[in-house]
Amino acid sequence: MASYTQITLVEAQEILKLYGRTNVLKCTPLSLGISNSNYRVDLENEVVLLKISNDKNQAQLADEQAILVYLQDRDYPYSLKPHALKDGTFIYNYAQYFGVLYPFVQGIPPGPSDYTCQEVGRAIAQLHNLKHDANKISKLRRHEAVGFGPKEILDYIQTPGCPEDFRAGFKVLFPDNLEGFMNAGFAEGIIHGDLYYDNTLFDNNKISTVLDFEQAGIGEYILDLGISISGTCLEKGRVITPLVNSFLLGYESVRSLNDVEKKYLDQAITLGLLSISLWRIKRFKEGNLNPLMENSYQDLLVRALHYFEMRKVSIL
């Protein structure tokens, strides 16, 4: 959880006025988010989610909203569309605060299970299966602007500031320095970049909402798949094959993996773990987002090494 930006009811009322909304009754902090402070705001006739950015700059936040608006236009059923301010833009500025406003969605965060994995698999496959407008999608950011793909990870391990355990782990996991993966020519489109099961809400045992498109952008579907599996198909903190199979059952009910994607799936899962591990290094070890999580990147590194060893044994 992030260090919360505290706002008063009066401040919430002033922010909501920028959206043409009045009669704020209650403002309740929510214990959700790392990069944002989140508030449920009850008005007379609606409930909204007010987000205050703690990490992203305004350009990054604007890029994220552009993706969400585009996804709504392409009829992706699980994303939220931001509310527009009175001037038609989506980022508010009030005093020292800036952020966005969304509809408040009822739902329950699921736990890891076969059913959860199937549902998340279906949801991310629907994202990967969208039919895109070539002109509009070309204006959206790439995932590498906010996340870490194979090239960014490979470049990082060659820097002096890279933690030695991260560098050593990479060399064990990818002795070919990702040469095969980077030259495979995977399909691309909009990817979420952080679709762990706890970035979803369920209603009546069905996935209703996909949250937190903060690392979304144009990227390779296989990387997105690897990231999502690595944070969804978990039992006792480890990626396990039965849950991976359940995830893929849901995914391939919507979009079939091609032979190249199947060949590199295990590498994509370990790469997904390193991608989020590097995100934690940048935010918590090198950055100042939450010093208490400085070494939390190691949890994902260990998970990647365990999955690598497990798959190696199963193949023998």
This model's pTM is above 0.85: yes
**Bridge partners of 101?**
50
Structure confidence at residue 1 as a pLDDT band (50, 70, 90): very low
27-55 pLDDT, tens per residue?
999 865 666 789 999 999 999 999 998 87
Q: Which residue has the higher pLDDT, 131 or 109?
A: 131
Rg of the chain, C-alpha, whole Å:
20
Biggest CA pair distance of the chain: 65
The whole-number pLDDT of residue 2 equals: 42
Bin 167: left if φ > 0, else alpha if -120 < ψ < 50, else beta: alpha
282-301 pLDDT, tens per residue?
999 998 778 889 999 999 99
Nearest to 81 by CA among 97, 100, 54, 98: 100
Structure confidence at residue 244 as a pLDDT band (50, 70, 90): very high
Homologous superfamily in CATH for domain 9-103: Phosphorylase Kinase; domain 1 (3.30.200.20)
Question: How far is it, in rounded angstroms, from Cα 285 to Cα 165?
Answer: 13
The whole-number pLDDT of residue 5 equals: 78
Question: How far is it, in rounded angstroms, from Cα 32 to Cα 111?
Answer: 16
Torsion sign over Cα 190, 304, 118, 181: positive
Q: Which two tokens stand for residue 129?
A: 């299966």
Side-by-side strand order, sheet with 36-43: 24-30, 36-43, 47-53, 97-103, 92-94
Bin 17: left if φ > 0, else alpha if -120 < ψ < 50, else beta: alpha
Question: How far is it, in rounded angstroms, from Cα 8 to Cα 14?
Answer: 10
Question: How far is it, in rounded angstroms, from Cα 128 to Cα 187?
Answer: 9
199-215 pLDDT, tens per residue?
999 998 899 999 999 99
201: three-class secondary structure by DSSP: strand
143-194 pLDDT, tens per residue?
999 999 999 999 999 999 999 999 999 999 999 999 999 999 999 999 999 9
CATH of the domain spanning 114-315, picked from 3.40.30.10, 3.40.430.10, 3.90.1200.10, 2.160.10.10: 3.90.1200.10
Q: Do domains 9-103 and 114-315 have the same CATH topology?
A: no
Q: Which two tokens stand for residue 268?
A: 């994509």
Enumerate residues 6+ apart whose C-beta is below 8 A from 176.
none
Give domain limits for the chain: 9-103, 114-315
64-105 pLDDT, tens per residue?
999 999 999 999 999 999 999 999 999 999 999 999 999 999
Type and span of the H or E element at 128: helix 114-128
